[in-house]
Amino acid sequence: MFLNSLKEAQKIVDVLDRGIDMNKKISEEIKDLVIARLDVMSSTTKVSIGPYGVFSKDDLKRHVMEDDEIGKKIVEVQMAFLRSIKEGKLYLHG
């Protein structure tokens, strides 16, 4: 599953905006969305997440699947990005 259009991204964000409590377990739908976004990253990419450290693509995916504190932070960042696209704060060419 990968976002093929802005319209698809907006639909997903609309559904998710109805209420995500980052203290609760992340739904499988959200995990699938975030994992799909991570899957398109280069395998050599590293991501720094504040005080948590630097993570590889596989590390990020594992944390999302484990639904731990780092995984929830990854989901939070990804959802903020998608909301920014939806709200027109970011413009993607294509």
Residue 50, token pair as written in the block: 């504040």
- Asked if residue 80 belongs to a domain, the reply is yes
Q: Which residue in 79, 74, 42, 48 sits closest to 61, CA to CA?
A: 74
- Asked if residue 94 belongs to a domain, the reply is no
- Asked if residue 13 belongs to a domain, the reply is yes
Instruction: Output the pTM of the full model.
Output: 0.71
- Asked if residue 54 belongs to a domain, the reply is yes
Q: How many C-beta atoms surround the C-beta of residue 52 within 10 A? A: 13
Number of structural domains the chain divides into: 1
| Residue 1: per-residue pLDDT | 39
C-beta separation of 79 from 16 below 8 A:
yes
C-alpha 32/C-alpha 22 separation (Å) is: 16
User: Bigger pLDDT: 31 or 17?
Assistant: 31
Enclosing domain of residue 36: 6-86
pLDDT digits (tens, 9 = 90+) for 7-19: 666 666 665 655 4
- Asked if residue 91 belongs to a domain, the reply is no
Q: Above 80 in pLDDT, residue 52?
A: yes
Please name every residue paired with 54 in a beta bridge, in sequence order, or none if there are none: 48
- Asked if residue 92 belongs to a domain, the reply is no
- Asked if residue 33 belongs to a domain, the reply is yes
Q: How distant, in Å, are the alpha carbons of 15, 24, 40, 94 from that of 19?
A: 8, 11, 27, 30
C-beta separation of 75 from 64 below 8 A:
yes
